[in-house]
């Protein structure tokens, strides 16, 4: 049996899952998405992901309610239908039909969830770290989509493609005020003198779920944490740098273009957080496997 997807309350074969050509996501990128990690059949921080999507919907589209999205049992069934336990789960919600344009009142939205085998980053990257570049684009605080995970994702993918063409793993974005913001697909952290620092949400940056977990773990372990504006000197002069998202978790950065970070290898704070994060996932998703 082929891949099964969740579409508007139904479970259907992937090739039978269709949306209208007038759908707002198709026409204008008027949509939001969440990429989540399932471990042992349980999605890590599912409620946090859904809460973020609903908050963004209220700000850039229109308010939606929890029953508008798949329930926990729907995600569990999606994993079972696809015989997956450790998986990448994507939830996409779009504005539905836009024949009459984008309205204040909520139309019949489109909601789709897919599950695929989780593709892990090579273990060597976590041991040796990655190189990143500075994106040629700038993040604007006046962009209404800044800080939201929307389907209007092309600028991020273009910056990431440029990074990958130079064999780098990520492109870091700065604002027009030359403040460090985030990566194309990640949040950014620096370590200086034992203090963990990351740009504040109003930079603006995406309120990453993994970002929040890293801050939670660090505060619990007694590490000094600062959500504070950072510039290029803060980045280049850091003892350690790492980036985070739900797929890569905690990834060490050892070089920014031609400039080594610290000693040019993953530092102790980063290595500890990698382990602590994985233990947190195991703790919260340690139930029986789906298959």
- How do residues 82-121 score in pLDDT, each as one tens digit? 999 999 999 999 998 877 666 656 678 999 999 999 999 9
What is the architecture of the domain spanning 4-117? 2-Layer Sandwich (3.30)
Measured between alpha carbons, how far is 24 from 94 in angstroms, rounded to an integer? 6
- What is residue 288's predicted lDDT score, i.e. its pLDDT? 41
Burial 85-103 (b: 16+ CB within 10 A, else e): bbbbbebbbbbbbbeeeee
Domain spans in the chain, listed from the N-terminal domain onward: 4-117, 123-281
- How do residues 129-148 score in pLDDT, each as one tens digit? 999 999 999 999 999 999 99
pLDDT band at 80 (very low <50, low <70, confident <90, very high): very high
Contact 135, 124 (CB under 8 A): no
230 pLDDT higher than 90? yes
Measured between alpha carbons, how far is 115 from 87 in angstroms, rounded to an integer? 6
- What is residue 157's predicted lDDT score, i.e. its pLDDT? 97
The model carries a pTM of 0.94
CATH 1.10.357.10 for the 123-281 domain, yes or no: no
Contact 52, 40 (CB under 8 A): no
- What is residue 107's predicted lDDT score, i.e. its pLDDT? 73
- How do residues 238-287 score in pLDDT, each as one tens digit? 999 999 999 999 999 999 999 999 999 999 999 999 999 999 999 999 85
6 pLDDT higher than 60? yes
The β-bridge partners of 173 are 182
- How do residues 38-63 score in pLDDT, each as one tens digit? 999 999 999 999 999 999 999 999 99
- Sign of the CA dihedral 115, 156, 68, 110? negative
- What is residue 108's predicted lDDT score, i.e. its pLDDT? 87
Q: Which residues contact 128 (CB under 8 A, 6 or more apart)?
A: 254, 265, 266
Taking each helix axis from N to C end, the angle separating 268-284 and 209-220, rounded to the nearest 10 degrees, works out to 110
């Amino acid at each position: 049996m082929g891949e099964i997807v969740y579409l508007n309350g139904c479970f259907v074969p992937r090739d039978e899952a269709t949306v209208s050509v007038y759908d707002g996501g198709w026409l204008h990128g008027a949509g939001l998405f969440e990429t989540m990690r399932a471990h042992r059949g349980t999605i890590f921080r599912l409620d946090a992901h859904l809460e973020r999507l609903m908050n963004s919907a209220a700000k850039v589209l229109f308010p939606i309610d929890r029953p508008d999205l798949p329930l926990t049992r729907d995600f569990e069934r999606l994993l079972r239908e696809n015989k997956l336990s450790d998986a990448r789960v994507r939830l996409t919600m779009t504005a539905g039909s836009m024949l009459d344009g984008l309205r204040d009142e909520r139309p019949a939205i489109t909601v789709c969830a897919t599950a695929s085998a989780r593709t892990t980053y090579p273990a060597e990257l976590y041991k040796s770290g990655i190189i990143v570049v500075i994106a040629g684009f700038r993040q604007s605080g006046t962009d209404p989509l800044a800080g939201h995970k929307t389907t209007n994702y092309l600028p991020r993918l273009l910056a990431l493609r440029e990074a990958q063409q130079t064999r780098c793993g990520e492109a870091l974005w700065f604002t027009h005020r030359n403040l460090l913001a985030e990566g194309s697909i990640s949040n950014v952290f620096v370590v200086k003198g034992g203090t963990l620092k990351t740009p504040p949400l109003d930079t603006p940056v995406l309120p990453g779920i993994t970002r929040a977990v890293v801050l939670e773990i660090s505060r619990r372990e007694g590490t000094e944490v600062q959500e504070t504006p950072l510039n290029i000197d803060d980045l280049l002069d850091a003892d350690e740098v790492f980036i985070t998202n739900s797929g890569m978790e905690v990834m060490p950065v050892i070089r920014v273009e031609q400039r080594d970070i610290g000693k040019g290898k993953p530092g102790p704070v980063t290595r500890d957080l990698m382990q602590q994060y994985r233990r947190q996932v195991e703790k919260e998703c340690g139930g029986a496997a789906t298959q």
